Structure 1
Amino acid sequence: MERYQEEYNTEKYSVLVQNAIKHYDNFELSVSINIPRGNIVGLIGENGAGKSTLLKLILGLIKREKGKIIVLGSENINLNRNLLEDVGVILDENVIPENLNINQINNVMKSIYKKWDTKKYFDLIKRFKLPLDKKIKKFSKGMKMKLSLIVSIAHNPRLLILDEPTTGLDPVAREQILDMFLEFVQDSKNSILFSSHIMADLEKVADYIIFIKNGQVLIDGKKDLLIYEWGVIRCDEINLCKIPKNSVIAVRKNDCYYDVLINNKEKARGKYEKLIIDDAFLEEIMLICINNDEEVKKRCLG
C-alpha cells in the first residue's frame, strides 16, 4: 500500500524521497516517499529497519548512493544555509550545551538562526514551566526534550524532522508535546515527520503512517484508513484458505490459529459472520506485518 507520487510539487509536498538508496554491511535502505504540507507523518518499524537512516538521509547528514531527495524545494539541504533555517530537528545525538541555562541558550540561538524568535522561545518556556536559571544538565529527561522541541520551533521552521521525540516521557509531557505538534501544522505550509515506537501517540496526531521493514517501505497511507478500514480475522487454516488473496495484507501464525490482516473489515464482517474480525490498531498492524508468514500465504492463498 503506497501513496508515493513521483512528481514533486513544492506547494503540495515539503519532502520528496525518490528511489533513495543507502548501503551498510548487511543492510540496504531503498525508499520512495512524500511528506505532504500541513500534515503529520509518523514513521514506524522495528529497531534496525532504517528509520533513523532515512531521517539522516533527508537531512543530508549521510550521503545517499542513488536517487533524489528534495527538501522544501532544494536538493542539497546540507549546502543551503537558508534552507536549514526552515528545518527543525531532533535526533538522538542532538546536544544542547548542558552547562548553560535557558537565558544563555537564547543568546546562543540568536547568534545561529537569523529567524530566531525570542518572544516565541520564552512564551514556550513559560508554557512548559521550565526554570530560567537552572543549568540544562540538571533538567529531567522530559524537561530536556521539551527544551529541544522549543529550540527546534522557535526559529519558525516549515518542517520538523524528529527521531523518537516522546520516548521515555511521562503521559503528561507526551500530551503537551503532541499538542504542540498539532498547533504547528495548523499552518498549512508546515509539516512534521517523526519516528516513534509509541503507537498511541501516532494514533492521536498522525495524518499518515509510513512503515519500514528491512529498509523497504511496506505501508504508506492515511492513518484513518488503516485504523477504520483494515481489520484482523482470527481463524484456522481452513478458513484462511477461503479468504480472497487480494483482501489479505499479511498473515501471522500463532499456536492454534492465524491473525489475518485484511484491507476491508466491514466487507469481511458481512461475508464471514461466524469468524472473529477485530479492529486493527497500529501496533498490531506492525506486529503482524513484521511476523508475516509468506509460506502460509503462498500455501493457502496461492
Structure 2
Amino acid sequence: MTDTDFTERKAQASQWFSDLRDRIVAAFEDLEDRGPGGAAPGRFEVTPTTRTGPAGEDHGGGKMSVMRGGRVFEKVGVNISTVWGELAPRAQKAMAARGVPGMEQDPRFWASGISLVAHMQNPHTPAVHMNTRMFWTPNAWWFGGGADLNPCIEYPEDTAHFHAQMQGACDAHDAEYYPRFKAWADEYFFVPHRGRARGVGGIFYDDLNTGDWEADFAFTRSVGAAFLLAFIPVTERRLGTPASEADRDTQLIHRGLYAEYNLVYDRGTKFGLETGHNADAVLMSLPPLAKWP
C-alpha cells in the first residue's frame, strides 16, 4: 500500500469533509436567521490553520470555523483539516499499541477529517458533537467518527429521533453496525470519574477497515450526511422553549462535565495536541461558559 496508490482516495476523502463542512455551516447560519430574538443572527468566523514540520515545512492545515454569541448557538465550531508528516514518539507508540502495522518502524501518517461541536443558547436545545475522518499510514488505513447528542435537559423524543437517523445511516450499509457502534459510543463517551455518560449517546466507530475502501468511505459519508437530518429537527423543536435561571444553571453544570471528558479522555483532543495541530482548533470543543457544583 503506497502513498501513490492512495493519492486519489485521499483527495476524495479530503474534498468530502470540506463539502460537508460547507453544507453544515450554511445550515447553521440558516438556523441563526430563523432563530428567536431581535439580535443580529450569528455568522461563522473562518480562520486558516496550519501544521508545520520541525524545519518549518508545510505539513497541511485546514479551516477553523467558529460562531459565538448567536441567536441559536452560544458557541459552535466546524473544523476541517488535512495534515501529514511523522508522528511524535508518544503518538507513534500509542498507534503501535493499538496494533497499527508497521508503526514502530515507520511513523509517517496522513489524516483528514471534520470535527464539530455545538453549544446552544437555549438550555432545552441539546449540545451536539460530530466528527468523521480518514487516517492513512504506509501500512494501514481506516475511517472513524460518529455523532452523539448531549442534552442538559433530556427529551426522550429528541433522543429517539437522533438515534433513528444514526441507525438509518448504519442500516443502509450493515445491519450489525448500529448496535455495535451504539454500544461503542456508550462505552467511549462514559465519564469514569463521574460514573455517568457524557450525554445520551449516538454512534462511535474507529479503525474501520473492512478491506473495501469504497464501502467504508460510503458509510462514512452516510454518517456525515445523516448529521443534519438528526440534529436540525431537534434544534428547531426547542428554539422557542422558555428557559429559567435553574435551566441555565443545569446547562452550565452539564458543560462542566463535557469539558472534563474532552480534556481528560477524548482521543481526538490528545491526538491533535500531540501531533502539533493548532491548539485553538483542537480545543474548539470546549464550551464558552461552564460551572461546577
Q: TM > 0.5 between the two?
A: no
Bigger radius of gyration: 1
| TMscore range, shorter length | under 0.3
More helix per residue? 2
